[in-house]
Amino acid sequence: MGSFDFVTLFFLVAAVIIFIQLRSVLGRRTGNERPPTDPFSAREPVDSADPTGKVVQLPRRDTVVDEAARYAAIDAFAKPETPLNASLRKIADADTAFDPKEFVNGARMAYEMIVTAFADGDRKTLKSLLSKEVYDGFESAIADREAKGEVVKSTFVGIEKSDIVSSDLKDGEAIVTVRIFSQLISATFDKAGTIVDGDAEAVSEVNDLWTFARDSRSRDPNWKLIATESEN
C-alpha cells in the first residue's frame, strides 16, 4: 500500500511540475505574435523583428494632428485650391489622423490582399475588407467557380502606380477612390486542367478604380471596399 501511495504521489508531483512549465511557456508573449491583418489600421513602425516588412505605418487614431500639419500633408499630395485638395481637407478635418499618402499605402496592401484572397477563395479575408454588397458579389463568383470545379492559379506581380483620383465626405462617411495600375498572372482551369480563362504565363496589365469608405465618426479604424470598376 505504501509503495502504491509513493508511486501515485510521484506521478501527481510530476504532473503538477509539467503543468506549471507548460503554462509558463504557453502563456508567455514573445513579442513576435502576428495580429490580425488590417492594412488601414494604425501600426507601430517596422523594426528588425518583422522580416517581411509588410507593415503599414499609419498615424495612431488617438493622435491629434494640428490643422497646419494636416493641410501641409494634403497640399504635398494634391495641388492646393483643387477639388481633390478641398475634399481631402474635409476628410482630414473629420478624421485628424488621415494622411492621403499613408492611405494610398494601405490601399495598395488591401488591393493585393483582396485580389489574392479572391483567387484563393479566401472568404474570411474578403469579408473583413469588403462592404456587404461587394462581398456578396465576390462570394457569388467564388461559389459559381467552385460549383463548376474550376480553380484559379494566380500570381500577383506588383503595383506599378496608384493614386487618389477623387474623395468626398458625406454625412460623416469618408469616401476615397483610388486608381491602381497592377500586373497579374492569372489563369482559370476546369476540372480537366484545361485553361478556360486567362493565361498561365503572360503578365496582364490591370487598371482598376477601387472606392473605399469609412465612417469618420466611428472608433473602428477599418476602411471597406465599397465599389470596383475596371478601366481595361
Inform me whether the pLDDT recorded for 206 exceeds 70: yes
Rounding to the nearest 10 degrees, give the CA dihedral for residues 88, 89, 95, 100: 40
- Separation of alpha carbons 180 and 104, rounded Å: 10
**pLDDT value of residue 129:** 96
Mean pLDDT rounded to a whole number for the chain: 81
Question: Is residue 9 domain-shared with residue 96, that is, in the same domain?
Answer: no
CATH of the domain at 153: 3.10.450.240
- Separation of alpha carbons 111 and 34, rounded Å: 20
The answer to whether residue 61 sits within a structural domain is: no
Structural domain span for residue 3: 1-30
Query: 151-170 and 173-189: which strand pairing?
Result: antiparallel
The answer to whether residue 50 sits within a structural domain is: no
Inform me whether the pLDDT recorded for 15 exceeds 60: no
The answer to whether residue 47 sits within a structural domain is: no
Extract the C-alpha cell encoding 4.
Answer: 502504491
Question: Is residue 116 domain-shared with residue 206, that is, in the same domain?
Answer: yes
Could you count the other beta carbons within 10 Å of the beta carbon of residue 53?
Answer: 8
Alpha helices, DSSP H, located in the chain: 2-26, 67-77, 83-94, 100-120, 123-129, 132-147
The answer to whether residue 166 sits within a structural domain is: yes
pTM of the model: 0.73
Domains identified in the chain, total number: 2
Question: Which residues face 77 on adjacent strands?
Answer: none
**pLDDT value of residue 232:** 67
**pLDDT value of residue 221:** 87
The answer to whether residue 41 sits within a structural domain is: no
Inform me whether the pLDDT recorded for 19 exceeds 80: no
Q: What is the pLDDT of residues 48-90, one digit of tens each?
A: 344 444 433 334 445 556 889 999 999 999 999 999 999 999 9
Q: What is the pLDDT of residues 139-172, one digit of tens each?
A: 999 999 999 999 999 999 999 999 999 999 999 9
**pLDDT value of residue 23:** 39
Question: Is residue 2 domain-shared with residue 97, that is, in the same domain?
Answer: no
Q: Residue 120: which pLDDT band, with cuts at 50, 70 and 90?
A: very high
Question: 101, 78 in Cβ contact below 8 A?
Answer: no
220 or 158: which leads in pLDDT: 158
Question: 110, 126 in Cβ contact below 8 A?
Answer: no
Residues 6+ apart with CB under 8 A from 151: 145, 188, 189
In 3D space, the residue among 196, 104, 97 whose CA is nearest the CA of residue 145 turns out to be 196
